[in-house]
Amino acid sequence: MEFSLEINSFINDYIKCIKEGCAAIFAGAGLSVASGYVDWKELLRNPAKKIGLDVDKETDLVALAQYIYNKDGSKQPLAELIKNSFISCNNINENHEILAKLPIKTYWTTNYDSLIEDSLKKNGKNPDVKKSVKDLSTIISKRDAVVYKMHGDISNASDVVLIKEDYELYDLRNQLFSISLKRDLISKTFLFIGFSFEDPNLEYILSKVRILTDGYSRKHYCFFRKVNESDYSNDEEGKKKYQYDRLKQELKCADLMRRYNIHSLMVDEYSDITQILKRIEKGYKKDHVLISGSADEFEEFKIKDIEPLEFIHKLSGEISKLGCKVITGFGKGIGSAVLNGVLDYIYKTNTRKLDDHIIMRPFPLYVTSDVDLEQIKKEYRKQMVELGGIAVFVLGNKTVNGSIQIADGVIEEFELAIDNGLNVIPIGVTGYASEILWNRLIENFEKFYPDNIDLKKDFELLGDSELTSDVIIKTVCKIISELKEIY
């Protein structure tokens, strides 16, 4: 899918922020709509009828909620309505899934549902959820992300921020949330998803940040669906309404940028947001390179000027030099060479934080409970491959009943890499599974790289046994460098 120059620029900027640990998400009701939740208009439709109002004619829904409350003299009916509406649907949608997989550590939301924290848990992360002011003073051990629910949580529906009175008293009752959000808005780059910017609390906080930073506020982004002429009737009234709404949207976007440095990203359909998030995920992962392989022997290794393990050592170090994080399953016979290559680079550059340079996922060798070891390995392998954006394949053999065979695990990792959208680079001259995979790729290159046919000449070099190890490694690094720029 082709994106505008502005959206491509955002993707690059936000990937950079994710890598630097300063990316944040602000989720509005729109993020949960795809999960089956109704929006505010639909939620208030029937209660509005009961007081004689038409929700489609109302623009200030906070005031409408206040009118409904005034009629009953209690928040209980609205709280019950919210609880029933939200409990009836808890499907994590694709946007939640993508965001949860990314190493984003700060989430803010006005939503009452638990979909953000549920998606984080589903992806093996430990979220620290702040539902009320008292939660701000406690820290969950080994947390992976903080989820600030500034308007409360469905588990305590009677205390959620809901009516106009709640908004008026917000800064008094929830001042620490306001302070925390101001801090994050000053120090992090936010992406607002599913948010209409009609919330009076957020507008107040944004204005305070603008005053505090005195025109030096951090750049933020938000998604808006373009006002589309096809959504309006073709008569004179419809055309006038379209022109009016388009102008209003343009003025709103200009105001957000001028006053709060929030840049609007215009999409044709809400589904485009999912494609943009996928592109961000793919771009972020391009710096994560899986080195797949195993070896019980090296007879088919065809590079003449270097020993196999020394080649893998040098290859791993050069990949690290590219600014990539190496992923290894610590394949039999080659795992130490991969690790040593990365360590060599770390010590030469005087860096000591190993976790910034390598992800090690050694495979289990035996079972300690009544489980299927092969099934565990399959799931383990799948999770490991999903961490990467590029996969390099070397060697790939194992001993079975005293004879050398092709390592089916390496073949499986290749298939998983393709299924998960990774770019694959089998080094044919290392032999065994990698040579089989290299031949398969060269014979069907257009299938594997339909948009990068010009890379074929570089891939062909990876099967040339007359080339030196330096040329092979430089070619692999050249391919990785070019693929890193394509997502």
Tell me the β-bridge partners of 327: 290, 359
Do 215 and 354 lie in one domain? The reply is no
Q: Is residue 359, in this structure, part of any structural domain at all?
A: yes
Q: Is residue 68, in this structure, part of any structural domain at all?
A: no
pLDDT band at 200 (very low <50, low <70, confident <90, very high): confident
Q: Taking a C-beta distance cutoff of 8 angstroms, is the pair 108, 150 a contact?
A: yes
In the three-class reduction of DSSP (H, G, I as helix; E, B as strand; rest coil), residue 344 is classed as helix
Q: Which residue, 258, 283, 308, sits at the end of a domain?
A: 283
Cα-Cα-Cα-Cα torsion 422, 423, 427, 428, nearest 10 degrees, comes to 100
pLDDT digits (tens, 9 = 90+) for 220-237: 999 999 999 999 999 999
Do 176 and 100 lie in one domain? The reply is yes
Q: Which residue, 283, 315, 338, sits at the end of a domain?
A: 283
pLDDT reported for residue 40:
76
Burial class (CB in 10 A: 0-12, 13-18, 19+), 21: exposed
Please state, for a pLDDT cut of 70, what percent of the chain lies above it: 97
The catalytic position among 96, 151, 313, 357 is: 151
Do 217 and 350 lie in one domain? The reply is no
Do 342 and 292 lie in one domain? The reply is yes
Contacts of 111 (CB under 8 A, 6+ apart): 27, 28, 29, 31, 32, 149, 151
Question: What would the mean pLDDT of 324-343 be, rounded to a whole number?
Answer: 95
Q: Is residue 54, in this structure, part of any structural domain at all?
A: no
**Residue 8 identity (one-letter amino acid):** N
pLDDT reported for residue 137:
93
**Rounded Cα gap, residues 469 and 474, in angstroms:** 8
Do 176 and 257 lie in one domain? The reply is yes
CATH of the domain at 174: 3.40.50.1220
Q: Is residue 84, in this structure, part of any structural domain at all?
A: no
Question: What would the mean pLDDT of 341-363 be, rounded to a whole number?
Answer: 89
Do 357 and 423 lie in one domain? The reply is yes
**Containing structural domain, residue 380:** 286-484
Q: Taking a C-beta distance cutoff of 8 angstroms, is the pair 196, 251 a contact?
A: no
Residue 450 has pLDDT above 90, yes or no: yes
Do 240 and 354 lie in one domain? The reply is no
Please compute, for residue 278, the number of CA atoms within 13 A of its CA located in the half-sphere on the CB side. 12
Annotated catalytic residue 151:
yes
Residue 418 has pLDDT above 80, yes or no: yes
pLDDT reported for residue 485:
87
**Rounded Cα gap, residues 104 and 25, in angstroms:** 8
Comparing CA positions, the residue from 429, 433, 437, 431 lying closest to residue 476 is 429
pLDDT reported for residue 154:
83
**Rounded Cα gap, residues 246 and 122, in angstroms:** 40
User: Where would I find the H helices in 60-169?
Assistant: 61-72, 76-87, 94-101, 115-122, 164-168
Q: Is residue 418, in this structure, part of any structural domain at all?
A: yes
Please compute, for residue 430, the number of CA atoms within 13 A of its CA located in the half-sphere on the CB side. 32
Residue 88 has pLDDT above 60, yes or no: no
Residue 156 has pLDDT above 90, yes or no: no
CATH of the domain at 412: 3.40.50
Give the residue, 71 or 366, on which the prediction is more confident: 71
pLDDT reported for residue 163:
87
Q: Is residue 67, in this structure, part of any structural domain at all?
A: no
Do 209 and 234 lie in one domain? The reply is yes
Question: What would the mean pLDDT of 366-395 be, rounded to a whole number?
Answer: 87
Q: Is residue 195, in this structure, part of any structural domain at all?
A: yes
**How many residues does this entry show for the chain?**
487
DSSP 201-245: HHHHHHHHHHHHHTT-PPPEEEEEEPP-GGGS-SSHHHHHHHHHH
Q: Taking a C-beta distance cutoff of 8 angstroms, is the pair 437, 394 a contact?
A: no
What is the chain's mean pLDDT, rounded? 92
Q: Taking a C-beta distance cutoff of 8 angstroms, is the pair 375, 412 a contact?
A: no
Residue 90 has pLDDT above 70, yes or no: no
Phi, psi of 322 (to 5 degrees): -75, -5
Q: Which of 69-73, 149-153, 265-269, 304-308 has the lowest mean pLDDT?
A: 69-73
pLDDT band at 371 (very low <50, low <70, confident <90, very high): confident
Residue 412 has pLDDT above 90, yes or no: yes
